[in-house]
Chains A and B, each alone.
Chain A
Amino acid sequence: MILPGNTSCQGCPISLAMRCLDEIENPVLVIPAGCSTVVAGLHPNSAMKIPVIHVPFASTNAVACGVKEAYKRAGVKANVIAWIGDGAADIGFATLSASATRKDDIITVVVDNEAYMNTGTQASLSTFWKAKTSTSPAGKADEKRNLALIMIAHRADYVATATVGYIEDLRRKFGKASQSEGFRFIQIHCPCPPGWRFPSEKTIEIARKAVMSGAWALFEFYDGKLRFSGIGKKFAEKGNRIPLAEYLKVQGRFEHLGDEDIVAIERAIDEEWEILKRFSGE
């Protein structure tokens, strides 16, 4: 799906996620501005083995909707994928929300690296609690927005969170989305070496620590039910988690955190798990 020698940074989580696109039948990618644009290749080349429609930032879900509606009328079978970063989910949020509400028959994938990496690591609505970015140099005061929960509130047909740390789980979710219909949404946790400031060989390790510490919850929502999924399921139990500091302390963006900061973040994460558990009935 993605050719070797593409222009991603070493250890890029997005290129890992793109490799899994072969789980999706007849894919057509719609990509707005962001790291994915660059990873997908510069004109006249393309790093992707599938069609890519590059579009402006806020438009992605609407363009994908138009593509799909045209295919439907022409009888063309395709999984149209709005492939956006957390930045496009910010600027294109109204578009995303409308697309989910209309139940556009498309797959939306958010590669969430918790900041605007392509413009040099500015804070997004998805930036993790207290993370340092170039526009939150003292650490971001406001909380990380839970986009997947918001999509569940839209009664999307399929919502899943995934991570590049557990590729088999991610592949299974892509496969499931491919076989379903309606508005499908997958948010992929994407630890970014330059943006989060960790060595590029540690992407998988950090992605897994996010899950193991409870900082990133893996779940699926379909048929009106939320279910914790895959390897992440056991971390719904707080007792099974590794200490949060083990996830945070290996990243440069958290180098300023004191013990009391970590306690505060942990409390916020616990609250979020409580909400998820209430949704799941587990």
Chain B
Amino acid sequence: MQGNVQTKSHRNGSRVRKLLTSNEAVAEAVKIAKPDVIAAYPITPQSPIVESLAKMIAKGELDATFVRVESEHSAMAVIHGAATAGARVFTATSSHGLAYMFEMCWWIAGSRLPAVMAVATRSIGAPWNIHGDHTDIVQLRDAGWIIGMAENAQEAFDMTLQAFCVSEEVNIPFAVGLDAFTMSHTAEVVEIWEPKIPPRRQAYKVLPSDNFAVNAVTMGKARMKARYDLAVDLENSAKVIEKTDKDFGNHGGLVESYRLDDADFAVVMMGGWCGDAKDAIDMLRQEGFKIGLLRIRFLRPFPKKAVKELGGEVLVVDKANSDLRGVLGIEVSSCGVEAKNVVAGIGGVDVGVDDFYRIFKDFMNGKLEMEWYL
């Protein structure tokens, strides 16, 4: 699908409205950020992102080096190398691709290198399934990445631009999650604008003139200290995310609060289906139910404070599981918040406004136990 220029907003002279899928919106953002090196292996439903970028390079609209690799492991390895040498880098992946590059994801984070990756969040086999859920991206939790989850194409665009700034300020790689198909392949109107992204910054780079060994074998504490520093800096990246969010769409920082102010019931969710959940909440509000949504925009750093501040009864709806529990449910309960937990939508099982309406209502009526919405 090709995005077309539809109208020109006069609200802000430089803003252009285009009909874009989230994949295309991410590619537009990457083009504005001007990466030096892009490497990727195709995987559904990510491929249109890097295909768009390859086209931009071929047409001369983007001056970047595109390295065609034989696997996702190498895609992440190429951008790891390029970042080590000081280049601004980008890659995109999904599902099995992310699983295959997992080792390198640890290395680029552990090396404290800035990098941006889009993840079109998709189910991981077996059995084969190409449809959307969050089972791939949640696996990045422990690797030391910043993990954002966009709700729509506009946010995918804004967050991708923000990702370069944040990542290069805190020296931690940044993954932008966008739900497979419901976002990656669904067109929406997106306001494209061109913020100034500061020139590439990073803590160190390796040059031939240096006598510098990076990531040599460590004995004892050095590894633990590196891991601790990464954890602390990842936690502190929250401040940078909050600050820069103001310049990149003002989506709420680590979380978006939706009708939570006076709510007796709070739902916690993340990703593209939050739009449907908001519609269900609006319907229930009309019926007098005091319900709201805490939309998790960042799985890492996890918005512990916002979760802890939740009042009333809490329900977490998950699109990824770890044993019988939902992954977000585990995260929320780790903040000391007692919550009901529903796992739904895995493998692209359709969960829409009506389903949310039913789930939320059962929850408020005390009829919902922790369950799988099959």
A67:B214 contact, CB within 8 angstroms: no
Distance in Å: Cβ of A46 to nearest Cβ of chain B: 4
Q: Which residues of A contact B83 (CB under 8 A)?
A: 66, 70
B77:A66 contact, CB within 8 angstroms: yes
B78:A63 contact, CB within 8 angstroms: yes
Quick one: CB contact mask for A161-173 with B, threshold 8 Å, 1 for yes? 0000000000000
A102:B68 contact, CB within 8 angstroms: yes
A95 contacts which of B73, B80, B213 (Cβ < 8 Å)?
B73
Q: How far is the CA of A53 from the CA of B87 in the complex (A)?
A: 15
Distance in Å: Cβ of B82 to nearest Cβ of chain A: 4
Q: A55-B107, A55-B215 are in contact. Are A77 and B208 (CB under 8 A)?
A: yes
Q: How far is the CA of A42 from the CA of B218 in the complex (A)?
A: 6
A43:B81 contact, CB within 8 angstroms: no
B213:A40 contact, CB within 8 angstroms: yes
Contact residues of B between 66 and 101, Cβ < 8 Å to A: 67-71, 73-87, 89
A46:B211 contact, CB within 8 angstroms: yes
Q: Which residues of B contact A53 (CB under 8 A)?
A: 81, 84, 206, 214-215
B70:A98 contact, CB within 8 angstroms: yes
Q: Which residues of B contact A76 (CB under 8 A)?
A: 85, 207-208
Query: Of all chain B residues, which has the CB nearest A63?
Result: B81
Q: Is A249 an interface residue (CB 8 A)?
A: no
A66:B79 contact, CB within 8 angstroms: yes
Q: Which residues of A contact B211 (CB under 8 A)?
A: 46, 48-51
Query: Of all chain A residues, which has the CB nearest B65?
Result: A69
Interface size class of B (residues with CB under 8 A): 35 or more
Number of A-B contacts (CB under 8 A): 163
Q: How far is the CA of A54 from the CA of B214 in the complex (A)?
A: 6
Distance in Å: Cβ of B91 to nearest Cβ of chain A: 11
A69:B87 contact, CB within 8 angstroms: yes
Q: How far is the CA of A25 from the CA of B207 in the complex (A)?
A: 13
Q: How far is the CA of A69 from the CA of B309 in the complex (A)?
A: 48
Q: Is B39 an interface residue (CB 8 A)?
A: yes
Q: A70-B87, A74-B87 are in contact. Are A38 and B78 (CB under 8 A)?
A: no
Q: Is A72 an interface residue (CB 8 A)?
A: yes
Q: Is A27 an interface residue (CB 8 A)?
A: yes
Q: How far is the CA of A154 from the CA of B184 in the complex (A)?
A: 37
Q: Is B37 an interface residue (CB 8 A)?
A: yes
Most B CB within 10 A of own CB, among A56, A64, A97: A56
A65:B81 contact, CB within 8 angstroms: yes
Q: How far is the CA of A67 from the CA of B39 in the complex (A)?
A: 12
Q: Which residues of B contact A37 (CB under 8 A)?
A: 216-217
Q: A67-B82, A76-B208, A102-B68 are in contact. Are A59 and B74 (CB under 8 A)?
A: yes
B71:A94 contact, CB within 8 angstroms: yes
A56 contacts which of B37, B86, B104 (Cβ < 8 Å)?
B104
Q: Is A242 an interface residue (CB 8 A)?
A: no
Q: How far is the CA of A55 from the CA of B113 in the complex (A)?
A: 13
Distance in Å: Cβ of A93 to nearest Cβ of chain B: 10
Q: How far is the CA of A50 from the CA of B214 in the complex (A)?
A: 11
Distance in Å: Cβ of B227 to nearest Cβ of chain A: 14
Q: Which residues of A contact B65 (CB under 8 A)?
A: 69, 72-73
Quick one: CB contact mask for B296-311 with A, threshold 8 Å, 1 for yes? 0000000000000000
A28:B213 contact, CB within 8 angstroms: no
- Seen from chain A, the residues whose Cβ lies within 8 Å of a Cβ on chain B are 26-28, 30, 37-38, 40-46, 48-56, 58-74, 76-78, 94-95, 97-98, 102
Listed by A's residue number, 9 A-B pairs whose Cβ atoms lie within 8 Å are: A28-B206, A46-B212, A66-B79, A67-B81, A68-B85, A69-B78, A76-B208, A78-B207, A95-B77
Nearest 6 Cβ contacts at the A-B interface: A66-B81, A62-B77, A70-B85, A59-B77, A66-B82, A63-B81
Starting from the known contacts A37-B216, A69-B82, A73-B37, 6 additional A-B residue pairs (CB-CB under 8 Å) come to A49-B211, A50-B211, A54-B214, A62-B74, A67-B84, A76-B208
